[in-house]
Amino acid sequence: MYPYLNVDKIRELNGICPGAGRAKLGDLALNFDSFLRYLESRVDADAIPYATPVNAVAATKTTALGVADTELVYTAKVKGANGNNVTVTYVAPDAESAELGIVVDGTNIVVNLATDALKAVTTKASDISAAIGVHTVAKELVSVVNKAANDGSGVVTTMDKITLAGGVNGTEGTKGQKAIDEDYIYFCAADNTINDANWKRAAITLATY
């Protein structure tokens, strides 16, 4: 609705013509929509685009096995919506003395749990974290940490596939780029891709004179 706001026009209202500017702001600040329209009508080439850029957010998922000291938090290594495609599954093989193993197919991570001579699962949460941390492919997909109040010492159970969620793409931008909306002015501190989080912001405060 309001594609541009120009900071020089705000300075003009408050500095170059302080009396007239304050009078106008005194009226317009009572109605921010009118204030935006007023500034929009005075757009020029160096205007700041009206937009709300966002920083990329990494997808994440916490296990819910319900066993003490087994819960882990999986977080996508790369921020952005693609992390919402990563899945994790725990499988207990029907075998005696099976070894812990990690298998990755695309963005799907399967943890084959270790067993003892009676086929009972022996894998601890800490074992899974360590195994993923050294797996060539899995470690590039996710990082793994203990959930708060869990130390990783518990023996895990099988787990149906869980999918990471909450990943958000960042707004692309170049270093020095600016944007503004009703509440904040934004500044791109470094070139930003959909996987980055380089946008900074400062709150806007309007005063009535």
- Which residue range is the domain that position 126 belongs to? 60-163
Q: Please tell me the least confidently modeled range out of 34-43, 45-54, 78-87, 111-120.
A: 34-43
Both 151 and 185 in a single domain?
no
Both 88 and 155 in a single domain?
yes
pTM, full prediction: 0.78
Place of tokens 């004179």: 209
Domains identified in the chain, total number: 2
User: Is residue 10, in this structure, part of any structural domain at all?
Assistant: yes
119-153 pLDDT, tens per residue?
A: 999 999 999 999 999 999 999 999 999 999 999 99
Name the token pair of 63: 């296990």
Q: Which residues contact 6 (CB under 8 A, 6 or more apart)?
A: 39, 42, 43, 44, 46, 47, 48
Q: Please tell me the least confidently modeled range out of 2-6, 61-65, 76-80, 191-195.
A: 2-6
Q: Is 80 exceeded by the pLDDT of residue 31? A: no
Distance (Å, whole) CA 108 – CA 86: 6
